[in-house]
Amino acid sequence: MKLKKLVHFLILIALLSCNENSTKKILTESKGKQNEIILVIDDNSWEGAIGDTLRKIFQFEIDGLPQPEQFFNLVKITPSQFTRFFRTHKNIMFVGKDFKDSYSMNKWAKNQIVMYLSSSSNELEFKKSCVKTFNFLYRKELEHIRASYKMSHNTDARKHIKEAFGINVFLPTEYYVSLKDKNIFISDFHSFNEKQDLLKYILVYDFFPDDNENIQKQIVSKTDSILKEKIKGSIDGTFVQIDKRMPLTEINGLYRGMWTLENGFMAGPFIMKSRYIEDRIIISLGLVFHPNENKREYVRTFEALL
């Protein structure tokens, strides 16, 4: 009799467990590009001051690219158009008077962010909310890229860079390491066929700054000297340099600009990070050559990995 009761008890526990698991959400992977935002907003708001603010903050052009490319692409739809088809997109943003500023992770899909912005506040408060949301998405995109390469990267290169320079760089396995020294590290990736020519470099190097000279000038000068000596073109007398004709922007040690091939006909964008570590300046640099194609994906990856 006791054995029969025990069997009944175990069956009951199993049924309850199955019922509990059946109530859990089974989420599919989110879809869409990382820089794409499904914006759910009514037409009147989109065509007025609220829409202007959203476009200025989320769709402004990235510095240091040869052709106009936006930070984020807003795909605008009305609330009535928001069907099941859009519910699994990576980034969804609802804007309206009935919402409170908030966000939800993995609401309808994995690796998804659903945001809500109130449009009932005054123009200044709404702008602040937009800036806060932009920074949040910007950080999440970099975290996503970095996490994906952290799972699979060149561990020997990362170990060397950490020991030599004191920073973590998760070098993609596709890169070939051509120089690994205590003061400089160089790697590159080159893919060439009849449809595309893609060339990428990642460099790390250091120098001891002169406190009596402008730091930014020293960084540019040191970078040019490294590029001139180490990154040369296929024709004799050609070498890479920072393009002084194009604007060079810097925010918190992150530089964006263009490089050019001296005595040649190649050019492209670069991302450069500078860090003070003890008495040295550590520079990590990524540059890309991919003619007639968008470069946003590459510079964002550099920004995340460097």
pLDDT at 15: 53
pLDDT at 285: 98
Instruction: Identify whether the C-beta of residue 105 lies closer than 8 Å to the C-beta of residue 24.
Output: no
Closest CA to 264 of 286, 226, 304, 291: 291
Q: What is the DSSP string of 115-184?
A: EEEE-SS-HHHHHHHHHHHHHHHHHHHHHHHHHHHHHSS-HHHHHHHHHHHS------TTSEEEEE-SSE
Closest CA to 203 of 298, 278, 149, 282: 282
Q: Per-residue confidence of the chain (306 residues) as pLDDT tens digits?
A: 455 555 555 555 555 555 544 445 688 889 988 889 999 999 999 999 999 999 999 998 998 888 889 999 999 999 999 999 999 999 999 999 999 999 999 999 998 999 999 998 889 999 999 999 999 999 999 999 999 999 999 999 999 999 999 999 999 999 999 999 999 999 999 988 767 789 999 999 999 999 889 999 999 999 999 999 999 988 999 999 999 999 999 999 999 999 999 999 899 999 999 999 989 999 999 999 999 899 999 999 999 999
Whole-structure pTM value = 0.84
Instruction: Identify whether the C-beta of residue 180 lies closer than 8 Å to the C-beta of residue 203.
Output: no
pLDDT at 25: 63
β-bridge partners, 180: 185
Sign, CA torsion 100/114/146/225: negative
pLDDT at 23: 43
Phi-psi group of 92: left, alpha or beta (phi > 0 → left; psi -120 to 50 → alpha; rest → beta): beta
SS3 category, 290: coil
